[in-house]
Structures are given as C-alpha cells and as structure tokens.
Amino acid sequence: MSAEVVLRTINLGKQYKKRWAVQNMNLEIHRGDVFGFLGPNGAGKSTTIRMILSLVTPTDGSVELFRHQLSTEREAALAKVAGIVEKPDFYLYLTAYRNMQIAGAMTMGKTPSRTMIMDNLQLVGLASRAFDRVKTFSHGMKQRLGIAQALLCKPELIVLDEPTNGLDPQGMKEVRDLIVRLSREHKMTVFLSSHLLNEVEQVATHMAIINKGKLVAQGSVEDLLHSKLHNVKISVLPVKKSLAILKKLKTVKDAALDGDGISALINNADIPKVVRTLAAAQCKIYSIMPQRSLEEYFLSVTEEN
Ligand SMILES: Nc1ncnc2c1ncn2[C@@H]1O[C@H](COP(=O)(O)OP(=O)(O)OP(=O)(O)O)[C@@H](O)[C@H]1O
Ligand SMILES: [Mg+2]
C-alpha cells in the first residue's frame, strides 16, 4: 500500500491579469517524500507554493492538505504545515534565541520553552550561536534559523521555497544535510523548490518538473532521471491537428510546435501507441526523432531563461 497523500493540488491555477502564472497543476506528495519542485526562473514555483500555503488565492482548482480542503477548512488543512516562501524575516538586532521566542509566540500563541528552542537550534546546527545577534549571521545561517523557526510548530509537512538559493557550496550542503535529517530522523515530509536539477537530485526522493506554469513530468527521482522519457521531434501533417491529439494523450508531455514539426516528451515504450493514435486520425507521420533525455531537456529549458 502506498503512503498517505499529505498534499494534493487539483488543476491548480493562478492568473495574473491575462497571464497564467500556474495552470492545471496536479501534484501529489506522499508522507515521507522529499519532493523536489523543479523549474527555471519564472516557471511558477513560488506562486504554486503561495497557493499551497494559502498566501494567495487560486484562480482555478484546489489544494488538499492532510485530506482537508484548503479553501473551506483552512485551519485544519494548515495545522501540520510550516513553510518559508522566498526568504525568512528576522529581528536582526535580536539574538537567534529571542527571534525563536518571538516566532514561537506568533505561531503557537505562547513562548516556547528553553528546551524546545535549544533543541531546534541544535537540530539546525546553531545552538552555539543562540545568543548572538542575527545581524552577525551568514546567509546560510539565517536560512537555517528560518527552518528552526518553522519547526517550532512541530510540522509534519515543511514547504521550502528555494532554500539553497544564493548560498555558497558549503551553505548549500548544510541546508541539504538538514533537509535529509528532517526527513530521515524526524520523519517529516518535505516539499522544496529549486531551479537546479543537481540540487534536487541530491536530496529528493520524488520530483516534479515545471516550465511556464505547467507540469512537465512528475515521479520518483529514480524513475524520472533514469527513465526513457525523451524529448522527441515529430514530423507530421497536418501539424495543428496532430498537436491537438498529442496534447490530449496522457503519455505525451509538453507537446508544442517546434519549427515545422512538434516537440514533446515521450517515454520510448509509448511511441508505438502514439504512432497508432496519430495514424488512426489520418495524420501522416514522416519521422520521430529522439533529441534529448529528460535531464538534457531540463537543462535546455533552464538555459533558455
Ligand atoms: N504578484 C504578481 N503579479 C503579477 N505577476 C506575477 C506575480 N507573481 C508572480 N507573477 C508572474 O508569475 C510567473 C511565475 O512567477 P513565480 O514567482 O511563481 O516563478 P518562480 O518559479 O518562483 O521563479 P523564480 O525561480 O524566479 O523564483 C512569472 O511570470 C511572474 O512574473
Ligand atoms: Mg520563486
């Protein structure tokens, strides 16, 4: 039996003016997953996370957390969830300890005990700096202090928007190690976004790749990176009709016009079925050429930005 679904988004979408920042986002995160949400700049990561944490209202679709509908049961849905979007805020002239007291009082309604504060600072590797002012902290230390604050409410799901962004390699490693510890030793489910495949690959068990607001692929890191999912170029006539058919097929991802053909992500094993479907609709296929692996595809999408 597979683990409980702790977070599910159903056709989630957000429109700003006329542009859709996120569209038809269907994500499923199970208990115990470290879920990497991967996409280039502007792909819609922060917008999706803001909708999950109820910081912006979706234009379309819904979010379900621990089986509660976020739109109608907000409090119950968010009870076991903590999140940091973009970067955490601190009182820079106060100590890490005092910041923890204030953050605890805000999220829990009472000042957390000394033991609780010190345990969490210990967990993120900041116990020895507890009584130093936050203004003396490095960017990486602030990031970890933000996580320590988020942990005060004992979340079962922690949502982190680009937690390693802007850190040096050592800082990145410290945050990655912390994420692994939260998952392994504290049995937390972690949802983190990143624009670096390599970062996600090192910590995540599962991932989703998004581009231009849309889901491109989702699955276990192992399956996705070792999958036979390939970016293919299809030469077919008539192009528009074929594209409409391909877009409706579940096995075909990210189908789009590309020069005088169509590019799409397809698993090798599904190619015969795709060919049959197009042929049955009287479309003429001239060629299907594999171009890149999913990894190369992601890197190319990232480079476009
Ligand atoms: N408040 C807003 N008003 C208008 N457009 C917005 C707003 N917030 C985000 N957008 C647009 O939505 C799209 C997705 O933005 P988002 O911040 O979610 O991307 P991201 O994946 O987090 O990018 P980055 O890696 O740069 O953080 C962008 O085109 C952005 O300009
Ligand atoms: Mg962002």
pLDDT at 8 over 90: yes
Site residues for ligand 1, CB cut-off 6 Å: 16, 21, 39, 41-47, 195
21 CA distance to ligand 2 centroid (A)? 11
Looking at the CA of 42, name the nearest ligand.
Answer: 1
What residue spans in the chain does CATH classification 3.30.70 cover? 229-304
**Which residue minimizes the CA distance to atom 24 of ligand 1?**
41
Q: Quickly state the pLDDT bin for 1 (edges 50, 70, 90).
A: low
Which residues are CB-neighbours of 45 under 8 A, at least 6 positions away?
Answer: 37, 39, 161, 162, 193, 195, 210
Residue-wise pLDDT tens digits, 47-89: 999 999 999 999 999 999 999 999 999 999 999 999 998 778 8
Better-scored residue on pLDDT, 203 or 227: 203
- Please list the residue range(s) of the chain that carry CATH number 3.40.50.300: 5-223
Phi then psi for 139, rounded to 5 degrees?
-60, -45
Using the Cα atoms of residue 164, residue 167, residue 173 and residue 177 in order, give the sign of their dihedral: negative
Compute the radius of gyration of the chain from its Cα atoms.
22
Where is pLDDT greater, at 28 or 107?
28
**Which pLDDT band, with edges at 50, 70 and 90, does 293 fall under?**
confident
pLDDT of 3 > 90? The answer is no
Q: What is the pLDDT of residue 103?
A: 94
Percent over 90 (pLDDT), the chain: 75
Work out which ligand 1 atom sits closest to the CA atom of 17.
4
Residue 268: per-residue pLDDT: 83
Token digits for 54? 């109820």
- Residue 84, classed as helix, strand or coil, is strand
pLDDT computed for residue 304 by the predictor: 62
* Closest residue to atom 12 of ligand 1, CA basis: 21
CATH of domain 229-304: 3.30.70
Q: What is the pLDDT of residue 290?
A: 80
When pLDDT is averaged across residues 127-150 and rounded to a whole number, the result is: 95
Least confident of 22-36, 117-131, 218-232, 258-272: 218-232
- Angstrom CA distances, 44 to 23, 38, 186, 231, 287, stand at 9, 10, 29, 22, 33
For residues 146 and 88, is the Cβ–Cβ distance under 8 A? yes
3-state secondary structure of 18: coil
Task: Select, from the ranges 31-35, 88-92, 270-274, the one with the highest average predicted confidence (pLDDT).
Answer: 31-35
Residue 180: phi, psi to the nearest 5? -65, -40
Share of the chain above pLDDT 70, in %: 98
- For residue 31, give the nearest of 60, 2, 59 by alpha carbon: 2
Fold of the CATH domain 5-223: Rossmann fold (3.40.50)
Model confidence at 184: pLDDT above 70: yes
Q: Where are the alpha helices (DSSP H) in the chain?
A: 45-52, 74-78, 96-108, 114-123, 139-151, 169-184, 197-203, 221-225, 239-248, 271-280, 294-304
- pLDDT given at position 303: 67
**pLDDT for res 178:** 94
Over residues 187-221, the pLDDT tens digits come to 999 999 999 888 898 999 999 999 999 998 898 88
Mean pLDDT for the chain overall: 92
Q: DSSP 3-state assignment of 166? A: coil
